[in-house]
């Protein structure tokens, strides 16, 4: 049984560079979510997809952030012109639409912007 996977697990970049993260959901799951977690806080919602459609975006998702899920399978999250405030853990989760729908999380990508 393959869970949610994320790549890379860690990323160190310099301010102003672009970074891209990948998330592979559980294979039969049609919903995919991105969250951001800063140190000592709970995760905060960024965006979510149902199949390939991006259905909701948080106000936290500035113009420098873009997410895609081109074929309704894996998803990418790109941050352009990174800032030190972007340093955080980026968590991906997936779920299967249903009444007791549960989101299952990947291991996360830790981003450090120098």
Partner 1 sequence: AQKITQTQPGMFVQEKEAVTLDCTYDTSDPSYGLFWYKQPSSGEMIFLIYQGSYDQQNATEGRYSLNFQKARKSANLVISASQLGDSAMYFCAMRTKAAGNKLTFGGGTRVLVKP
* Residue 82 or 109 having the CB closest to partner 1: 109
Among 45, 66, 68, 96, binds partner 1 (CB under 8 A): 45
65 lines the binding site for partner 1 (CB under 8 A)? no
Structure tokens at 41: 């806080």
Among 39, 42, 84, 85, binds partner 1 (CB under 8 A): 42
Provide the terminal-to-terminal Cα distance of the chain, rounded to the nearest Å. 37
Strands 109-113 and 10-13, sheet pairing: parallel
Tell me how far apart the alpha carbons of residues 77 and 98 are, in angstroms, rounded to a whole number.
Answer: 25
32 lines the binding site for partner 1 (CB under 8 A)? no
108 lines the binding site for partner 1 (CB under 8 A)? yes
* Residue 21 or 33 having the CB closest to partner 1: 33
């Amino acid at each position: 049984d393959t869970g949610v996977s994320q790549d890379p697990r860690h990323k160190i970049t310099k301010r102003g560079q672009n970074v891209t993260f990948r998330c592979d959901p559980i294979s039969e799951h049609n919903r995919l979510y991105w969250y951001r977690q800063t140190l000592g806080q709970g995760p905060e919602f960024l965006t979510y997809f149902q199949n390939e459609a991006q259905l909701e975006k948080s106000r936290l998702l500035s113009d420098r952030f873009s997410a895609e899920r081109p074929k309704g399978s894996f998803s990418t999250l790109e941050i352009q012109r990174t800032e030190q405030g972007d340093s955080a853990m980026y968590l991906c989760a997936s779920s299967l639409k249903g009444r007791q729908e549960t989101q299952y999380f990947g291991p996360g990508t830790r981003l450090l912007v120098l």
